[in-house]
Structure 1
Amino acid sequence: MSTRPEILFPLFAALTSLDGIGPKTAQHMAVLGVTKPRDLLFLLPYSGIDRSLRASVQGADLPATLTVEVEVGEHRPPRNKGGAYRIDVIDAQIAFQLVYFHARGEYLGKLLPTGQRRTVSGKVEFFDGMAQMVHPDHVVRDDEADQIPLFEPVYPLTSGITQKPLGKAIASALSRMPELVEWIDPNQKTLKNWPDWRAAVQSAHAPETMADLSAMAPARERLAYDEFMAHQLTLALARANRRRAPGIESHGNGRLRNKVLSALPYKPTGAQQRAIEEITSDLARPERMNRLLQGDVGSGKTLVAFMALLTVVEAGGQGVMMAPTEILARQHLEGLQPLAEEAGVVLELLTGRDKGREREAKLGALQAGDIQILVGTHAVFQKDVHFADLRLAIVDEQHRFGVRQRLELGKKGQGADVLVMTATPIPRSLALAQYGDMDVSVLDEKPAGRKPIKTALISDERVSEVVDHLRRAIAEGRQAYWVCPLVGESEVSDLIAAEERFKTLRALLGEAAVRLVHGQMPPSEKDAAMADFTAGRAQVLVATTVIEVGVNVPNATIMVIERAESFGLAQLHQLRGRVGRGSAASTCLLMYKAPLSENGRKRLTVLRETEDGFVISETDLQMRGAGDLIGTAQSGLPRFRVADMESQTALMDIAQSDARKLLHDDPELVTPRGQAARVLLWLMEQDQAIRLISVG
C-alpha cells in the first residue's frame, strides 16, 4: 500500500471543502498548523467553560462565566458616541446590567425586547458596585436554552479565527470521519478501557467536565497512544530494515580482553559488565548492531568501548573509534594506548593533520590490516581511506554526529556494526523518541574510588574571593578551569568575554600560569594551550564551552563557571564533569549574577544537590521542554499534537514495545491488524515509514 488508502481521502481533502472555511480563513488556519480536515481532528480544546444554568448571579465568585435566566428591563442607549449601551435585567434574586459597546440599538431591541424573558450566558464582573455582563456570548429565548452547551470547549485561536467558525469547521471535519479497523492490541485496549478511534476523537471534542480535558481521560490517552504508536512503528521499521542488512558475526575468544581486565587496578562496575555483555552478544549476531551506549560523566564508557573493539580484533577484524574534534580524538588515543599495549594490539590515530608520506604509510598499513584499531576524526570518511576488514565503528558524542554520518561510516565496512556513545544522559522519553530505532545500554553506576564533587553557588560580586581561592590552590600545585559565559548569539561576544577574563586573571595570577582556549582559535594554538595545561605548565585554563566534552586532566580539581545561570543544566553537568577525575577532592563554583530568576535558582540548586546526570536531565526536560533541550529544529524530534513526551513517557514505552512486537509477529504488516497499522501510519503522515514498508 504505497498510496494513501481511499478511506482517508475525505480527511486529506482541501480545507475549503469544510463548512464556513473560505480561502482567507484557510490562510489564518495554516498558522495553527491546520491545512486539511485531518489536522482539525487533532486540534483539541485546551480548556472549557461551564455554562450550566444557575438561578442567580448572586453569590457567585466574580469574575466568572455564568448562565442565568433573566427578565429584560429598560434599555439605556449611550449618551455620547462610543459610550456603552446598557440593558437592565433581573434574575431570580438580583438586578444587573448587560453592556454592549459599538452596538446597534435596533438589533439589541429585537434580541432583548423589554418585558420578555431570555437566557443569557457570559462573563460577569463587578463594576462601580454593580454586576455586569459585557457582550454576552449567548442570548436565547427560553425554548432555545438547550442550544447553549452545558460545557463549552475552548480551542487555541490565532488572529482572524474565532471560536464560532472554528467550532463549525471542526464539526464539519468530524462528520467526515470514517470507521477505521482497530490497530491497537485488543488486550491493551481493554486494559486501559479506551474507546474506538472514531469515538475517541468525537469524545475529545465534546468534553463534559474539566476532567475530560486531562491527558489521562481515556479518549485523550488513546489518541496520544496512537501518535506514539505511529512514531514508534516508524522507528521500529527503520530498525528492522537495518537489521535486514546482512552484518558480520564477530565471535571473540576473550584472549585480548582478559589481558586488559587482569591488568586493571579495579573491577568493572555491574553496569559496565552488563553493557559489555549486551554489546558482545550483538557483535556475534548475523544482523548489524545499532546500539546507543549512554553513560554519565565518569561512568567508564571508554573501557566498555575498548572491550567491544578488542572483541572484533580477536575475531580477526578491525575497529574504528570516531570523535568529533581533534582534541577528543587525541584524548581517546591517550586513554586507549596503555590498554592497547596491555593487549598487544596496534592502535593508530588519523586526523586531518596527517599529511604526505606519514599519511600514506598509515593508509597502507590500514588497508593491509596491520593497524587493528584506528582512532580518528571525520578524516576517516575520506575517499582514500580503506580498511582490510572493518567490523565495528564507534561514534563518540551523538549530537555532533547525525544519521547521515552513521550511514557514511556503514559504507566503509559493508555490514560494520555501529555503537554510538554519548556522555549526555538523555531523559528516557527523549531517548525513546530520538533513538527508538536503536538498542540502548545505560551505564548508571560510578566506578569505585570516584570522589564526589563539591558544588557551591556564589554571587559574581565575590569574584575576588574566588581568585584568592585559586591563588591558594595553585600554590598547592593544583589546576583549575575557568569557563566564561555564553554572552550572546554571536561567538564574537563570547570571545570578548573570555579574552577580558583571561587578561584580568593573567594580571592577578601571573602571565605564565594562565592559558586561553576558544572556538575561534587556529587548531594548532588551541592544541598548544591544551598541551600546556595537560602537562601542568599552566595552572588555569580560561575557556569558552569548547572544553565541555571529553577533556581529561586528572590534576584539575577546580571548575569555575561564570554566569552559570546562562547555561543549560545538562551543559553545566558536562562542564562540572571535567573535574573530579583524579584522587583529590574537587570543587565546582557556579558564579551567578544576582538577582537570580526563580528558574535560574532552581536549575543551579538541582545541580548543587545531585551529581546524577539522569536526574539532572529529567529536571532539565521538565523545566525547558523537549524542543529547547536539543533545539527542535535540528533534533529531528517528532512534533506531537495530542501526546506529551514529558508527562507520558510510560505510554511511549508501551507504544514502543507494542510496535516492536507487532513487527516481530507481522514483519510485512499484512494481517488485518497489520493493515490497520498501515492506515494509522498514513493517518499520522509517517511517509518515511510507508516508504520503508514498500521497500521491505
Structure 2
Amino acid sequence: MTGRPEALFPLFADLETLEGVGPKTAKLMAQLEVEAPRDLLFSLPFAVIDRRRRDTIRGAEIPGTLTVEVTVGIHRAPRNRGGAYRVHVSDAQEEFQLVFFHARGDYLKRLLPEGAKRVVSGKLELFDGIAQMVHPDHVLPVEEAGEIPEFEPVYHLTQGVSQRVMYKAVQGALTRVPDLAEWIDPAYVAAQGWPGWAEAIRASHAPVGMDDISPDAPARARLAYDEFFAHQMTLALARRRERRARGIASAGTGALQEKVRAALPYAPTGAQTRALSEIARDMAAPERMNRLLQGDVGAGKTLVAFLALLIAVEAGGQGVMMAPTEILARQHLEALQPLAEEAGVVLELLTGRDKGRERQAKLAALARGDIQVLVGTHAVFQADVEFHDLRLAIVDEQHRFGVKQRMELAEKGVAADMLVMTATPIPRSLSLAQYGDMDVSVLDEKPPGRKPIRTAVLSTERMGEVIDHLRGAIAEGRQCYWVCPLVDESELSDLTAAEERFKHLRAVLGEGVVGLVHGQMPPDQKDAAMAGFQAGEIQILVATTVIEVGVNVPNATIMVIERAEIFGLAQLHQLRGRVGRGADESTCLLLYRPPLGEGGRRRLELLRATEDGFRISEVDLQMRGAGDLIGTAQSGVPRFRIADLERQTALMAVAQSDARALIEADPGLESDRGRAARVLLWLMRQDRAIRWISVG
C-alpha cells in the first residue's frame, strides 16, 4: 500500500467541505490544530451540558443550565443606552426574566412575540431574588425544539469559533466516519468491553453524563489505546529496523571484568548485576543492542557502563563513551581511569580541544586498535574518526539525544551495540513513550556506603543562620554549592542574582573562599572555576543551574538552593544529588521566600520526605503533566489528543507489548490485522512508520 487508503479520503479532505465551515472558520480552527475532519473527530468534548427539558424551574438547582417551555409576557426596554432589555416569561409554575444587553428591540419582538410559546435553554441565576436567564443559548418555537440536544457536548474553542459552529462541524465530520477493520487484538477488545473504532468515535461525541467524558469510559479508553498503539507500532517498526541493522555478536570472557570486581571495595548491587547480565545477553546476540540504562543519582551507572565496555574489549573490539559536554567527558575519564588501570586497558580522551599532531596520533592509535576504550564528546563521531573494531557505543544522555539522533547514529553504519544512559528517573509511562523503541534496564538500588542526605526547608529570613552554618563547615574543610535561580528569562537578572549572592558571601566569608559560575561566562572561565572547586581551592561555589549535570566533587557536602520553590521537582532532585558523594554526611538546604504557595510547599515537602527519584518523578508528572516534564518540543514524545500519559500508563504498556508482538509475527503487516493496523497508522498520521514498512 503506497498511499493513503481510500476509505480515509473523506476524513482528510479540506475542512471547508464541511457544512458551516468557511475559509475564515477553517483558519481559526487551525489554531486548535484542526486541519481536517479527522482532527475534529479526535477533538473530544471536555464537558457535557444537560439540556433535558423540564416543566418548570421550580425546585431546580440554581445557578444551573435549564431547558423549559415558556409563555412570553411583556417586554421592558432599558431606560438608558446599554441597560438591560428584559422579557418576562412564565413556565407551568414559575415566572422569570430573559435578559439581553445591547439588544435591538425589533429583533427581540420577532424572536419572542408576546403571548407565544417558546422553548428556552440557558444558564439560570438569581439576581436580588429574581430568577434571570441572561442571553439564553437557545430560543426556539416549540415545533423546532427537537434541535436542542438532550445532552450537549462542550468543546475546547478558540477566539471566533462558537460552541454551535464547533458542534455543527463535528456532526458533519461524524457523517464521514468509515467502518474500518479492527486493528486491536479482538480478544483484548472483548475482555475490556470496548466498542469498535467507529462506534467509539460516535459515542465519545454523544456523552450523556459526566461518566462518559472520563478517561475510563469504554469508548474513550479505546480511542486512547488506538493512539498509544499507533505510537508504539511506529517505535516497534523503528526497533525492528534497528535490530535488523547488521549487529555484531560480542561475547565477553569475563577476565577483565573479574579484575575490576576484585578491586572494588564492595560487591555490586543486585540491580547492577541484573542490568549487566541484560546488557551482556544483548551484546552476545547477533542483533544490534538498543538499550536504555536508567538509574537514579548515585545508583552506580558508571560501573555498569565500564563493565559493559570491558565486554567489548574482551570480545576483541573497542568501546566508546560519549558525554554531552567537555567537563563531563573529563569527569568520565577520571572516574574510569582507576578501573581501566585495574583491568590493564588503554583508555583515551578525545574532544574538540584535541588539535594538530596530538589529534592525529590519537586517531592513528584508534584506527590501529591500540586505544581500547575512548571517552569523548560528540567529536568522536566526526568523519575522520575511524575505529579499528567498534563494538559498543555508550551515550550519556541528559535528554539531548532523542529517537532522531539514535536513528542518525544507526545510519552512520555504526553497527555497534548501543547503550543510552540517563540519570533522570523517568516515570514508566514516559519512558515507554520516549524510549519505546529501546529495551530498558533500571538501577533502582543505591550501592552500599552511600549515606542519606539530610534535607531541610528554611525561609530566606533565616539567611544569617545558614551563613553561620557554612562558616563552621568551611572551618572543618568542607565545601559547599550555593545555587541561585534563573529568576526570569532575561540573562541579566540571572546574572545579578548569582553575582549579588557571590559578592555578599565573599564580603562575609572572606576573599578567595568563594567562586562563581554562570551560563554567561566564557567556557574557559567556567572550566577554571569548576576546576578550582574540584581541586579544593575554592570552598563555596555560587552557581546558576549549570552545575546540575553530573559534576562530581566528593568533598562537597552542603548544597544550598536559593528560591527552591521556583524550581521543578526533578531539577531539585538532580541538584541535591551533587552532594552525598563522599564519606561524610551531607546536607541540602532548600531556601524559600515566604509566603509559600500550595504547589511550592508540596514540592519541597516531598523532597524533604524522600530521596527516591522514581517516586519524585511520578509525583512531578502528576503535578506538571507530561508536556512540561520533558519539554515535549525537543523530546520526541508525541502530543496525544485523547490519551492521558499520566493516568493511562497501563494502557501504554499493553500497547507496547501488543505492537511488538504484531511486528514480530507480521513484520510486513500483510495479515488481516496487519492491514488494519496500516490503516490505523495512516489515520494517526504516522507517515514515518509507513515508509519503514515498505523498506523493512
- Residue 415 (structure 2) aligns with: 415
Q: Does the Cα contact within 8 Å between 2:432 and 2:653 map onto a contact in 1?
A: yes
Is 1:364–2:380 an aligned residue pair? no
> Corresponding residue for 1:135?
135
- CA distance change for structure 1 residues 181 and 299 in 2, over 3 Å: closer, same or farther? same
1:494 aligns with 2:494: yes
Counterpart amino acid of residue 137 in structure 2: D
Contact 2:324/2:398, CA 8 A, preserved across alignment: no
Q: How many Å separate the matches in 1 of 2:654 and 2:353? A: 48
Q: Counterpart in 1 of 2:272?
A: 272
The letter for the 1-side match of 2:183 is W
Give the Å deviation of 1:405. 4.4
CA distance in 2, matches of 1:356, 1:87: 89
1:114 and 1:413 mapped to 2: Cα distance? 82
CA contact (8 A) 1:557 1:580 kept: yes
Q: How does 1:445-484 map to 2 (within 5 A)?
A: 445-484=445-484
Alignment partner, residue 579 of structure 1: 579
Q: Tell me the CA shift for residue 407 of structure 1.
A: 4.6
Q: Which residue is 2:321 aligned to?
A: 321
Partner of 1:23: 23
Shift in Å, 1:48 = 0.9
CA contact (8 A) 1:366 1:386 kept: yes
Name the stretch that deviates more: 520-529 or 628-637: 520-529
Taking the aligned partners of 2:490 and 2:129, their CA distance within structure 1 comes to: 55
Structure 1 residue 626: Cα displacement: 1.6
* Paired amino acid for 2:343: A
- 8 A Cα contact 1:247 1:414, kept in partner: no
Determine if contact 1:390/1:413 at 8 Å carries over to the other structure.
no
Superposed displacement of residue 101, structure 1 = 2.8
Question: Aligned equivalents of 1:400 and 1:414: distance in 2?
Answer: 20
Q: Is the 8 A contact 2:398 2:549 kept in 1?
A: no
Shift of 1:251: 0.6
Partner of 1:395: 395
Q: CA deviation at 1:402?
A: 4.2
Instruction: Please identify, of 240-249 and 379-388, the stretch whose mean Cα deviation from structure 2 is larger.
Output: 379-388
Determine the structure 2 residue equivalent to 1:556: 556
**Residue identity in the other structure for 1:401:** F
Alignment partners' CA distance in 2, 1:475 and 1:100: 76
Q: Report the Cα distance in structure 2 between the residues aligned to 1:239 and 1:369, rounded to whole angstroms.
A: 30
Report how far residue 188 of structure 1 moved: 0.8
Q: Partners in 2 of 1:84 and 1:261 — Cα distance? A: 85
- Give how far 1:590 is off: 0.8
**Relative to 1, partners in 2 of residues 1:403 and 1:172: Cα closer, same or farther, differing over 3 Å?**
closer
The 5-angstrom pairing of residues 243-642 of structure 1 reads: 243-403=243-403, 405-407=405-407, 409-410=409-410, 414-642=414-642
Q: Is the 8 A contact 2:402 2:635 kept in 1?
A: no
Structure 1 residue 36 displacement after superposition: 1.1
When residues 76 and 244 of structure 1 are mapped into structure 2, their CA distance, relative to the original with a 3 A threshold, is: same
1:63 matched to 2:63: yes
**Once the 2 structures are TM-superposed, how far is the Cα of residue 413 of structure 1 from its aligned partner?**
6.4
Shift of 1:411: 6.0
Q: Which amino acid aligns with 2:233?
A: L
Amino acid at match of 1:668: G
Structure 2 CA distance for aligned equivalents of residues 523 and 145 of structure 1 = 72
Contact 1:250 1:312 survives alignment (8 Å): yes
1:32 alignment partner in structure 2: 32
Equivalence for 2:205: 205
**Alpha-carbon distance in 2 for matches of 1:102, 1:308:** 75
Q: Distance in 1 between matches of 2:297 and 2:125?
A: 57
- Equivalence for 1:93: 93
**Range moving further from structure 2, 363-372 or 489-498:** 489-498
Q: What is the rounded CA distance, in whole Å, between the counterparts of 1:154 and 1:42 in structure 2?
A: 14
Separation in 1 of the partners of 2:350 and 2:407?
A: 20
Q: Distance in 1 between matches of 2:363 and 2:136?
A: 80
Unaligned runs of 5+ in 1: none
- C-alpha deviation, 1:344, in angstroms: 1.0
For the 8 Å contact 2:322–2:376, the answer to whether it is kept is yes
Q: d(CA) in 1 for partners of 2:693 and 2:405? A: 23
Counterpart CA distance in 1 for 2:403 and 2:388 is 24
Secondary structure at 1:554's aligned position in 2? coil
CA distance in 1, matches of 2:27, 2:411: 45
Identity %: 73
Q: Retained in 2: the 8 A contact 1:329–1:375?
A: yes
Contact kept? 1:97, 1:133, Cα under 8 Å: yes
Aligned to 1:122: 122
Give me the whole-angstrom Cα distance separating, in 2, the residues matched to 1:184 and 1:425.
31
Query: What is the distance in 2 between the residues matched to 1:427 and 1:116?
Result: 61
TM-score calculated relative to the size of structure 2: 0.97
How far did 1:600 drift? 1.4
d(CA) in 2 for partners of 1:324 and 1:251?
29
User: Can you give the 5+ residue segments of structure 2 that lack an aligned partner in the other structure?
Assistant: none
- Number of the residue aligned with 2:670: 670
Deviation at 1:340, TM superposition (A): 0.9
One-letter code aligned to 1:672: D
Q: Aligned-pair distance for 1:145?
A: 4.1
Q: Structure 1 residues 333-342 or 508-517, which shifts more?
A: 508-517
1:386, 1:412 within 8 Å by CA — same for their partners in 2? no
Q: Which secondary structure does the structure 1 equivalent of 2:642 belong to?
A: coil
Q: Does the CA contact (< 8 Å) of 1:455 and 1:589 recur in 2? A: yes
Q: Counterpart of 2:72 in structure 1: which amino acid? A: V
The answer as to whether partners of 1:501 and 1:542 remain within 8 angstroms in 2 is: yes
SS at match of 1:293: strand
User: 1:308: how far off?
Assistant: 0.5
Partner of 1:237: 237
Asked if the contact 1:486–1:567 (Cα under 8 Å) also holds between the matched residues in 2, the reply is no
Cα distance change on mapping 1:313 and 1:104 into 2, 3 Å: same
Distance between the aligned counterparts of 2:217 and 2:107, measured in 1? Answer: 42
Q: CA deviation at 1:540?
A: 1.2
**Is the contact between residue 484 and residue 544 of structure 1 (CA under 8 Å) also seen in structure 2?**
yes
Q: Which amino acid aligns with 2:79?
A: R
CA distance in 1, matches of 2:509, 2:103: 75
How do 1:105-120 residues align onto structure 2 when only pairs under 5 Å count?
105-120=105-120
Query: Are the equivalent residues in 2 in contact too, given 1:394–1:418 (CA < 8 A)?
Result: yes
2:657 corresponds to 1:657: yes
Query: 1:361 offset after TM fit, Å?
Result: 2.0
Task: Give the C-alpha shift of residue 33 in structure 1.
Answer: 1.2
Q: Is the 8 A contact 2:236 2:436 kept in 1?
A: yes
Q: TM-score, normalised by structure 1?
A: 0.97
Cα deviation digits, residues 570-615 of structure 1 (max 9, x gap): 1111110011111211100111111122211111111111111111
Q: CA deviation at 1:665?
A: 1.1
Counterpart-to-counterpart distance in 1, 2:46 and 2:407 = 41
Shift in CA distance, 57/275, structure 1 to aligned 2, threshold 3 Å: same
CA distance in 2, matches of 1:339, 1:482: 32
Distance 2:115 2:408 in 1: 81
SS of the equivalent of 2:399 reads helix
Which SS does the other structure have where 1:268 is aligned? coil
Checking the alignment, whether the CA contact within 8 Å between 2:627 and 2:639 is kept in structure 1 is no
Secondary structure at the counterpart of residue 152 of structure 2: strand
Secondary structure of 1:591's match? strand
CA distance in 2, matches of 1:73, 1:526: 80
Corresponding position of 1:177: 177
Residues 512, 84 of structure 1: CA spacing in aligned structure 2 closer, same or farther, 3 A cutoff?
closer
For 1:256 and 1:121, locate their aligned partners in 2 and report how far apart those are by CA, in whole Å.
Answer: 80
> CA separation of 1:444/1:536 partners in 2, compared to 1, >3 Å: closer, same or farther?
same
